[in-house]
Structure 1
């Protein structure tokens, strides 16, 4: 999503956010007291904690917080609820997180004049402020139960007329009517902000609001477990009669630059401002060659919040790809990585390589490989082991949210026995967001089995510029289309039930070696035009094969 505060959002999303200060709250005091007493757990004693900033777990080891059913209400909508920093073997369980005031507001469309939407803010929800004069809104049905069908992301400009009303001027005409409800949200730090951590476990946690990603993890080196976690809307705030529209302002789980596997089981994700789950590693540019084995690369975030040298280790496999179609041009192994002494000379090129880049700073790394890397400057590379490989996503319910259910740019995983309903984009996307977001990489060794996917893609799937125009889509986001490299490999898509979508049931694009069998696909390709036609897609079928080889399709 393109948003007014994109640079600051991406800085927090990719590089990690600033640690919240220790609040001195009763909750922090209970945690700190247990640690001073050299206990390895604390059971919370209050039913509700209202605190301005979250719990800070810095350099904790082998520690459990049992919420004992407590509700934690953060009273600063720009703060995290929990910060885990350089900690390992941490478990947080049995609690609910909410925000008051909420980190978004909402209202109803009262009049329409051409592309101008006049609106009022719902009673009991935060009043309009200048920082909410953003360039997008979410449109819901008049009863607030669902995102509105056949209404893609609505872009334009919000103008505040008073704290209670405003006008949103749409960039183009969208299917919006008087009485439709809307939400507008900024994006701020994550509710759970996890940096440089070993194994972490989250069990029986409910999140009812989040100012950014619900769980954001970077630079990890251990397994991350999410079991029986729910992201669902809470009850209306005091003085409100309209139901809440959002449960989270961005993704549910977003993990990158992480060497550990991920387990997501028996969870529920709903009413999110973006994807449910995003797993990826960083796409790094080959900016300049120092010698035949040594290069400089740049990362568009400051060293104070960047720790790739802790994630990339000697012996790690590196894949080099060509700019443009991102075809693989070679491999090597890391021998050494450290901050480059040529930072000032290299950093000026950062905007050339990152369409979305931060204004907060940069880090230039010198990387040495185990062999000559005779690839042109301007190529890219990524380190597959840092994409949270070895994931399992099993027995979850994904429903009623913007964007995609799963955005997977990792390998060696299974997606099984999940239910997906009423998502604005595709249910499962496999492949690299190479262009624009610079998220890698190609996907290998993934099984998608026995999932149910119903009423998917009624927000954006039919768009002519959609590059994932199917319920299950393998893809690559490229500089130019079509591409012809077959980088998504050894995939299995079996036993799934797919019903009701404007696009295809399954899209196999840029693949080599896929088995498709025993899937039930009904009532798809309902769009009048060809979804994704601006990206070169043509001749759609329920199982749609484009630019792929070695595909086995069985009934």
Structure 2
């Protein structure tokens, strides 16, 4: 080989030249699948994936266009998915099963689903890169309508019948799709101009006892005298919730080192992207937002990104959420209740929430925390030697050493091995039905340079072993350089006590045993139309420092809390260096069940203590 050729090859190696030295590229076109053909893509993609399995390090490439996925030829498999209705088996459009070192490159293509199905599933995979595609339905599992007319007795809405076919059945509005039908059970109202959740509407209307009648094709009249005072505003948009959550959009299960980038999930049958018992996950420029090209207000059926029992490191960068019917991001574990102590080392447990039943809660050598559920105090830890399912609801766990003598029936177990460090940066939490970010993990958490427009609390740090059984006392959380815009806390939802709400469910708080610890809220901007800024319960080590508080008058204040900061059974709290612009309402601090000296006000010119501990 000549020196010139060697020189060229050396330069190409340095540049990581994509043609000569790329991994094997396998196109779906090689198997007869053409974009925009509207044929069922499922069997073609299955064949292409089998070819990729034989070529480690390969890329499955889609020529840009539309690809339709129908239930025929899909794989059906039983999965017990967290926070998801147990409708099994799940219908899987694209299944990556025990696949490693693989890239799926959509090249900007649209993946369009038909019927109730899970678009993409990763089961026991590693080193996977998913990129460059959108997920949507022509007939979504949620609907929307424009409010045409409002009177004291009824209001009329206009429905796009091509996108959301419906019938009137027993005076109920019932939507019909590709192999399913479901009736309206809840309504969310969005403003006509900003597409934000209309202020002070939220979950206050149940819509279980309404009366529906068709005025003309696509025009439906709804009436319910019991909620007539809460009829929507003429011209606004309604998201009509009718189906149940039974499939995720993308499901990451027992997988590791997974990267998602430049993906738009416009809709899903349930949670947008569910990661369960997976670790080392990266999300870059992934959006769960309405499909603007279809004039949609709605996006996902429920949460945007949902993480249950995940470990390692979770990185979320430059992502976006809007129009969801639940929280953009929720990170947590699952507590289970002790129903019987069989021996000093064997415990019978039960999943207490119906949407957690059937999960593989633990594995050998994983670390478990023993939680006294009234005070939420951790009594000790143990190491599992076995996990034995008895049925979907109950299982037996055995430990290397005897459990604490103080552990009683009714207490809870928490899997401490399935927890993650988290970084969320440069992302946009748009207006959705509930809160913005829920985080419950003892790992290191950084929430930085994000924008929040959540209709409820922007950030909720919860945790409980009594109702939702979502576990994870935080130990190290930094909330820094974020912007909380005026839509935050414009409606009240569960646990939404302030823009930042630290609200573990503790029946009997004990100041000696705080649940959360080491939370720092620094150098953020809050645009506030109402009073409550921060609510914190049972925290050891909390600081609210050098934040800028700016009065906004877009909405009228309505919240029942009239203090800017409320502290309940907290220790080692520092409030320092915060400054206000304009007539910010929440000037006072209220304390509950705290000792003298638990709060330090340092160089603080804005906040004033309302009551002494």
TM-score (normalizing by structure 1): 0.81
Question: Mapping of 1:119-130 within 5 angstroms?
Answer: 119-128=157-166, 130=174
**Displacement after TM superposition at 1:108 (Å):** 2.6
The separation in 1 between residues aligned to 2:324 and 2:465, in whole angstroms, is 24
Q: Among residues 31, 46, 57, which one is paired with 2:96 in the alignment?
A: 57
8 Å contact kept, 1:115–1:171: no
Aligned to 2:256: 198
Shift of the 303–267 alpha-carbon distance from structure 1 to 2, 3 Å rule, reads closer
The separation in 2 between residues aligned to 1:514 and 1:45, in whole angstroms, is 52
Deviations 1:487-521, CA, capped at 9 Å, x for gaps: 11011111111112434222222111112211112
8 Å contact kept, 1:332–1:370: no
Question: Mapping of 1:379-394 within 5 angstroms?
Answer: 379-387=411-419, 389-394=420-425
8 Å contact kept, 1:150–1:175: no
User: Greater RCO between the two (CA within 8 Å, min separation 6)?
Assistant: 1
Q: Is 1:409 aligned to 2:427, yes or no? A: no
**Displacement after TM superposition at 1:549 (Å):** 1.1
Aligned residues: 493
Q: Among residues 186, 197, 204, which one is paired with 1:136 in the alignment?
A: 186
Aligned to 2:351: 299
Q: Among residues 338, 345, 355, which one is paired with 2:387 in the alignment?
A: 338
The separation in 2 between residues aligned to 1:414 and 1:214, in whole angstroms, is 22
Q: Among residues 525, 546, 550, which one is paired with 2:568 in the alignment?
A: 546
**Displacement after TM superposition at 1:194 (Å):** 1.7
Question: Mapping of 1:69-148 within 5 angstroms?
Answer: 69-76=108-115, 78-112=116-150, 117-128=155-166, 130=174, 131-143=181-193, 145-148=195-198
Shift of the 286–499 alpha-carbon distance from structure 1 to 2, 3 Å rule, reads same
8 Å contact kept, 1:503–1:524: no
The separation in 1 between residues aligned to 2:423 and 2:284, in whole angstroms, is 11
The separation in 1 between residues aligned to 2:357 and 2:408, in whole angstroms, is 30
Q: Is 1:328 aligned to 2:377, yes or no? A: yes
**Displacement after TM superposition at 1:298 (Å):** 1.8
Q: Is 1:504 aligned to 2:542, yes or no? A: no
Does 106-115 or 432-441 show the bigger shift? Answer: 106-115
The separation in 1 between residues aligned to 2:97 and 2:329, in whole angstroms, is 25
The separation in 2 between residues aligned to 1:493 and 1:115, in whole angstroms, is 47
Q: Is 1:263 aligned to 2:315, yes or no? A: yes
1:28 partner SS = helix
**Displacement after TM superposition at 1:308 (Å):** 2.1
Shift of the 322–50 alpha-carbon distance from structure 1 to 2, 3 Å rule, reads same
Aligned to 1:249: 301
Does 370-379 or 83-92 show the bigger shift? Answer: 370-379
Aligned to 2:497: 469
The separation in 2 between residues aligned to 1:272 and 1:484, in whole angstroms, is 39
**Displacement after TM superposition at 1:142 (Å):** 3.3
Shift of the 439–166 alpha-carbon distance from structure 1 to 2, 3 Å rule, reads farther
Aligned to 1:15: none
Shift of the 377–116 alpha-carbon distance from structure 1 to 2, 3 Å rule, reads farther
Shift of the 484–523 alpha-carbon distance from structure 1 to 2, 3 Å rule, reads farther
Aligned to 2:81: none
**Displacement after TM superposition at 1:455 (Å):** 1.2
Q: Is 1:229 aligned to 2:261, yes or no? A: no
Q: Is 1:176 aligned to 2:232, yes or no? A: yes
Shift of the 479–180 alpha-carbon distance from structure 1 to 2, 3 Å rule, reads farther
The separation in 1 between residues aligned to 2:566 and 2:356, in whole angstroms, is 44
The separation in 1 between residues aligned to 2:509 and 2:240, in whole angstroms, is 33
Which sections of structure 1, spanning at least 5 residues, go unmatched?
Answer: 1-21, 238-242, 348-360, 532-539
Structure ID, larger Rg = 2
8 Å contact kept, 1:458–1:501: no
Shift of the 235–497 alpha-carbon distance from structure 1 to 2, 3 Å rule, reads closer
**Displacement after TM superposition at 1:421 (Å):** 3.7
**Displacement after TM superposition at 1:75 (Å):** 2.3
TM-score (normalizing by structure 2): 0.74
8 Å contact kept, 2:199–2:491: no
8 Å contact kept, 1:285–1:378: yes
Aligned to 1:167: 222
Aligned to 1:351: none
The separation in 1 between residues aligned to 2:355 and 2:573, in whole angstroms, is 44
Which sections of structure 2, spanning at least 5 residues, go unmatched?
Answer: 1-39, 72-92, 168-173, 175-180, 578-613
Shift of the 181–522 alpha-carbon distance from structure 1 to 2, 3 Å rule, reads same
**Displacement after TM superposition at 1:254 (Å):** 0.5
Q: Among residues 515, 523, 528, which one is paired with 1:495 in the alignment?
A: 523
8 Å contact kept, 2:56–2:101: no
Aligned to 1:212: 270
**Displacement after TM superposition at 1:412 (Å):** 2.5
Deviations 1:65-111, CA, capped at 9 Å, x for gaps: 111222211122x1111011121211101112221122221113345
**Displacement after TM superposition at 1:264 (Å):** 0.4
**Displacement after TM superposition at 1:448 (Å):** 0.8
8 Å contact kept, 1:151–1:175: no
Shift of the 253–303 alpha-carbon distance from structure 1 to 2, 3 Å rule, reads closer
Shift of the 232–286 alpha-carbon distance from structure 1 to 2, 3 Å rule, reads same
1:403 partner SS = coil
**Displacement after TM superposition at 1:135 (Å):** 2.3
The separation in 2 between residues aligned to 1:168 and 1:39, in whole angstroms, is 58
